[in-house]
Amino acid sequence: YQNRKKHASKHAWYYFGNLGGHFTEVRLSDDDAEQRHQAVLKQISHRKELLKPAEKWQNPGTIGRCFLAAISDEGVESTRLDQILAPYWPTLWGLAARGHWVRHDRQPVRPTGPNEDDFRRRIILPDPLKVDDLKLSFTTTACPELGVYIDFGPTRRVNYLIARYSDLAEFRAMLEGWSAKRSWNGRHFLTTLSKEKGPTFTLWLRQNDIGIDFTENEWNALRELFQKAWAIPELQRWMKELQSEYGEQG
């Protein structure tokens, strides 16, 4: 807002309303542009303060609308806009890539043909990892995708290949963020907890329509297996590149 080309703004009411100003006792003057300007600045400052507390975080308002009006209708000098947005570029790119994925039939942002310069073609993936009866191995068959192959052990005799980043991101998010207080109900996986005969975790692979039961120790072993895998630098590099192509997932 403060980097617009002109100090006075015909959109003061628009900014003020989208930042929740209409829910305050402040009223914008019809004929005093400076009063409107100061009221908008005060409301911006107030909404920014509400973002700081982690426990009482509040939505700052429809910031996207304000941003669009400022750069499209009022104008911000191009170089200055680049400087302002530079610290937020990874987040903005992630949102753009996610939008591309949603709008273009879940396709990542990458060249359509083979890319011989892709550094992932030269990465040497780690050997299989094992925790108890669970084993994790990796494949470059579908490069630039990273294939993750899970062997659920000799008792279950079930193997599962996670072949796309969106599936892999959800699987990792499920292992890291699921609290077991309620079911995980994602696009690719469903996980529930039953306590009838001791804690039993059931993982449903939606694509295969298969349910796999785990004890609490086995579930923790699966989580440990993935934590070990994603501490490996080569996998971190690969996943970072996939995230830039797919945007935020999981």
* Shared domain check, 235 and 163: yes
* Shared domain check, 242 and 123: yes
* Cα separation, 188 vs 12, whole angstroms: 45
Q: What is the pLDDT of residues 98-116, one digit of tens each?
A: 999 999 999 999 988 888 8
The reply to whether 74 falls in a domain is yes
* Shared domain check, 97 and 211: no
The reply to whether 94 falls in a domain is yes
pLDDT at residue 248, as a whole number: 81
List Cβ neighbours of 165 (8 Å cut-off, separation of 6 or more): 108, 145, 146, 239, 242, 243, 245, 246, 249
* Shared domain check, 164 and 82: no
* Cα separation, 142 vs 131, whole angstroms: 26
User: 212 pairs with which residues across the strands?
Assistant: 203
* Shared domain check, 240 and 189: yes
- Quick one: DSSP state of residue 72? I
pLDDT at residue 151, as a whole number: 96
* Shared domain check, 187 and 225: yes
Residues in the chain with pLDDT values less than 50: none
* Shared domain check, 124 and 241: yes
Q: Phi and psi for 168 in degrees, rounded to 5?
A: -65, -40
User: 196 pairs with which residues across the strands?
Assistant: 198
* Cα separation, 169 vs 163, whole angstroms: 11
Please report, for the chain, how many H helices and E strands are present, in that order.
Answer: 8, 8
CB 58 within 8 A of CB 50: yes
* Shared domain check, 203 and 140: yes
Tell me, what amino acid is at 141? T
The reply to whether 110 falls in a domain is no
* Shared domain check, 80 and 40: yes
Indicate whether this model's pTM tops 0.85: no
* Shared domain check, 63 and 126: no
pLDDT at residue 58, as a whole number: 81
SS3 (DSSP) at 11? coil
pLDDT at residue 250, as a whole number: 58
Q: Which domain holds residue 236?
A: 119-246
* Shared domain check, 93 and 35: yes
The reply to whether 114 falls in a domain is no
pLDDT at residue 179, as a whole number: 75
* Cα separation, 137 vs 160, whole angstroms: 11
Domain count, the chain: 2
* Shared domain check, 90 and 174: no
